[in-house]
Structure 1
């Protein structure tokens, strides 16, 4: 199991979480496969062992709105866990992704018996709420160019670079669905950024040439979060 996930960090809590992990179910999703359906009943939580996914919900006129991206060690489906009966989001693998799944019943059992794990999960929820609130506030004040730049900085911070390009392949539409704009606007902004020698592209791959300059351009919004 990935060493960065909440379960791994709490494995030795009186043997309770260790026993809990034996009840997990592991499986693999192929690229493009959706493993959480929006509106489906909530049955538990998913943890990413390896790979990358996008978390989205259906917006106005059925348009996809990407809420966030996630990779190894992160929790998926937590927004539905607890009082909600149905997932408010859908999740799709962006590359072949290995996951482990814990049922709602098993999670409730360990939360009642492992206070350190419960506290760790509570902090995770608090951080998620802070990030969501900060994003909503910042994006509402950004221009289209700033939202696209913010998306690029977020992707770089989240996944890093590989062979000089961002270590994730996204379509222009996916950038638009995260930035809250249109595919045409993303293409225009990318063209302008390439002209200014701030980014470069090769097919769907994007290289950020001067991330410091891009950060300064959106610095007044003060939206630099860890993930």
Structure 2
């Protein structure tokens, strides 16, 4: 069965092109049919909020198409990007498992298509499929490691190294365009600053320095890496 939203966005779990990239690749056919029968397919425009920080979760969100940022608002109102997500990623499961409010808002970075799966359906799948449960545990462990690394970087690394590492992270998350050099995502300078954990003015200055040093160049609103070796060295990720 195929679910259809009011806008005409359709998605079939059995033939989904991003299924193999998600935790749902381990589901049996009858389990995929269960999701198909109950999920909602929802399109979001660039900049639209998918869920708000502070709300209680009602289910999980699987990205069928597009890119999403998860951002936490600090006490001073400044946004901190805590995660970037892509096609196949599942959002909101951690807060749902812990029965806590969302600690960040999910916002579409571009026009995005989301499949929403209710809490009841998701928990039913977890109880029936131990492989899915183990995959969730693996994802939680991975996120914990990434969070620990990020906290260490913010505490110990100079901002120039953090900027270089952020660009490498963007490349690992979203990949390159067909030229095998341009990072396949558009982020504002403010978003990049919020990812690095610095002021927007500092992010702009550092990107200009990277351009001057022939590490990167700007292609429209995207960033093209000219010298990967120099970028890795600047990030100092092997020390």
TM-score, length of structure 2 as denominator length: 0.86
Deviation at 1:194? 1.0
- Number of residues of Structure 1 aligned to a counterpart in Structure 2: 220
After the TM superposition, which of the residue ranges 23-32 and 195-204 deviates more from structure 2? 195-204
Deviation at 1:128? 1.2
| Residue of structure 2 in register with 1:200 after alignment | 217
Matched, 1:82 2:118: no
Which aligned pairs between 1:139-158 and structure 2 lie closer than 5 A?
139-158=154-173
| Residue of structure 2 in register with 1:71 after alignment | 86
Partner of residue 188 from structure 2, selected from 171, 189, 206? 171
Report if the CA contact (8 A) 1:28-1:98 is conserved. Answer: yes
Report if the CA contact (8 A) 1:17-1:110 is conserved. Answer: no
The superposition leaves residues 24-59 of structure 1 with CA deviations (integer Å, 9 ceiling, x where unpaired) of: 111111111111111112111111011001111101
Query: Partners in 1 of 2:37 and 2:130 — Cα distance?
Result: 19
Matched, 1:59 2:77: no
Query: Partners in 2 of 1:22 and 1:116 — Cα distance?
Result: 22
Which aligned pairs between 1:109-128 and structure 2 lie closer than 5 A?
109-128=124-143
Query: Partners in 2 of 1:143 and 1:32 — Cα distance?
Result: 30
| Residue of structure 2 in register with 1:12 after alignment | 28
Deviation at 1:203? 4.3
Deviation at 1:17? 4.8
Deviation at 1:87? 1.1
Query: Structure 2, unaligned stretches of length 5 or more?
Result: 1-15
Report if the CA contact (8 A) 1:48-1:74 is conserved. Answer: yes
Query: Partners in 1 of 2:93 and 2:238 — Cα distance?
Result: 28
| Residue of structure 2 in register with 1:186 after alignment | 203
Query: Partners in 2 of 1:67 and 1:133 — Cα distance?
Result: 12
TM-score, length of structure 1 as denominator length: 0.91
SS of 1:157's equivalent in the other structure is helix
Query: Partners in 1 of 2:228 and 2:75 — Cα distance?
Result: 32
Report if the CA contact (8 A) 1:138-1:221 is conserved. Answer: no
RMSD after superposition: 1.6
> Structure 1 residues 203, 34: CA separation in 2 closer, same or farther (over 3 Å shift)?
same
The superposition leaves residues 73-108 of structure 1 with CA deviations (integer Å, 9 ceiling, x where unpaired) of: 101112311223311110110111111111111111
| Residue of structure 2 in register with 1:106 after alignment | 121
Matched, 1:45 2:45: no
SS of 2:165's equivalent in the other structure is helix
Deviation at 1:220? 4.7
Matched, 1:159 2:174: yes
